[in-house]
Structure 1
Amino acid sequence: MKLKVTINGVAYDVDVEVEEETPTLGVFHAGSFGSGAATPAPAMPAPQQGGGPKVGNKAIQAPLAGTVASVQVELGQMCKAGETLLVLEAMKMETAITAPSDGEIAAINVSKGDVVSGGQVLVELI
Structure 2
Amino acid sequence: MKKTLRISFNGKSYEVVAEILGEDGAPAAAAPRSAAAPVVQASASAAPVSAAPSAPRASGAAGEIPSPLAGKVVSIDAPVGAAVKAGQTVITLEAMKMNTVISAPIDGSVAAVHVAPGDSVEEGRLLMTLR
Which TM-score bucket, shorter chain as reference?
0.5 to 0.7
Residue aligned with 1:89, SS: strand
Per-residue deviation, 1:54: 4.6
Aligned to 2:68: 63
Look at both structures and tell me which one has the larger radius of gyration over its CA atoms: 1
Supply the RMSD in Å over aligned alpha carbons: 3.4
Over 4 Å off, 4+ runs:
25-29, 34-39
Q: 1-side partners of 2:123 and 2:63: how far apart?
A: 17
TM-score (norm 1): 0.62
CA distance in 2 between counterparts of 1:118 and 1:81 reads 21
- For structure 1, the 5+ residue unaligned runs are 1-24
Q: Structure 1 residues 81, 46: closer, same or farther in 2, change over 3 A? A: same
Output the CA distance in 1 between the equivalents of 2:13 and 2:61. 26
3-state SS in 1 of match to 2:69: coil
Cα gap change, 1:84 to 1:119, in 2 (>3 Å): same
Shift of 1:83: 0.8
Say whether 1:44 aligns with 2:52: yes
Q: Quick one: which of 76, 80, 85 aligns to 1:80?
A: 85
Provide the identity percentage.
39
In structure 2, the gaps of 5 or more residues are: 1-11, 17-29, 39-48
